[in-house]
């Protein structure tokens, strides 16, 4: 899953692809390099980023989605927590809804997924919550089970759902490393898992790389580790480097099965 930020202020590449032509060109380059999903977002989720209006978000993402639907057969994901934006993105021929608030900010977004047959990525977050559990994995299970209940009540098909543990979302360096170490415990929820570690702050903390764009090797290391732990989808900025990391991890998994 390639990250396509149509924003001026995203933490890693804000402003590089905030026009339709630049965003589409970057997305198509990612497909050429092996991306299967294009995740288009119009509002930065970095800590402290200013919210944008629904209208501004839609003005950014909808023309990109419309053009990509004409230019590529890759799956298109809309990175939004707003039901209204998700519905318009589906009408523009997106395939997947990726909600960083886990359906819990605008629960109507689950109904959009159910009505349109969209895939649904449900992410864990610790932001703006006063009910967090002390144990990291316990909090994952607690939050994501609530999100899954919202999805079930909206009649989202279970085989349309992917879960994302939300690396970096109100998690510090040690939290993110523990989450990688304990990643396999999340399989008890019974859904495919998405890993979104790309260029995150904890990678800079471990490697000493201050600039997010210098963290692609560290990201690829987490990609290989998490693939071995069973992650199914990888949301990344640098597609070729992470594709190579996945090829190595998959070769190891194949050797395990043969052994």
What is the set of active-site residues? 200, 235
- Which structure tokens are listed for 184? 């396999």
Task: Identify the CA nearest to 44 among candidates 75, 17, 6.
Answer: 6
Angle at 27 between CA 192 and CA 238, to 5 degrees: 65
Q: How far apart are CA 168 and CA 127, in angstroms?
A: 10
Q: How far apart are CA 112 and CA 83, in angstroms?
A: 7
Q: How far apart are CA 180 and CA 40, in angstroms?
A: 25
Q: How far apart are CA 76 and CA 70, in angstroms?
A: 11
Q: How far apart are CA 179 and CA 195, in angstroms?
A: 11
Question: Could you tell me the maximum CA-CA distance found in the chain, to the nearest angstrom?
Answer: 55
- Could you write out the DSSP letters of every residue in 83-98? HHHHHHHHHTT--EEE
């Amino acid at each position: 899953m390639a990250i396509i930020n149509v924003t001026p202020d995203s933490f890693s590449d804000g402003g590089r692809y905030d026009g339709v032509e630049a965003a589409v060109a970057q997305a198509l380059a990612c497909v050429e390099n092996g991306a299967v999903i294009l995740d288009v977002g119009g509002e930065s989720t970095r800590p402290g980023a200013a919210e944008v209006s629904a209208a501004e978000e839609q003005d950014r993402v909808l023309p990109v989605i419309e053009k990509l639907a004409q230019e590529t057969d890759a799956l298109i994901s809309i990175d939004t927590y707003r039901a209204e934006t998700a519905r318009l993105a589906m009408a523009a021929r997106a395939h997947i809804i990726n909600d960083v608030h886990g359906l819990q900010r605008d629960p109507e977004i689950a109904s959009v997924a159910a009505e349109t047959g969209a895939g649904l990525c449900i992410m864990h977050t610790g932001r703006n919550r006063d009910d967090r559990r002390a144990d990291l994995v316990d909090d994952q299970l607690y939050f994501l089970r609530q999100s899954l209940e919202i999805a079930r009540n909206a009649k989202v098909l279970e085989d349309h759902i992917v879960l994302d543990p939300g690396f970096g979302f109100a998690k510090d360096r040690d939290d993110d490393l523990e989450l990688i170490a304990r990643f396999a415990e999340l399989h008890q929820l019974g859904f495919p898992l998405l890993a979104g570690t790309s260029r995150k702050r904890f990678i800079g903390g471990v490697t000493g790389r201050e600039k997010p764009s210098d963290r692609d090797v560290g990201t690829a290391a987490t990609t290989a580790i998490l693939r071995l732990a069973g992650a199914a989808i990888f949301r990344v900025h640098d597609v070729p480097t992470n594709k190579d990391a996945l090829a190595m991890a998959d070769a190891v998994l194949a050797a395990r099965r043969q052994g």
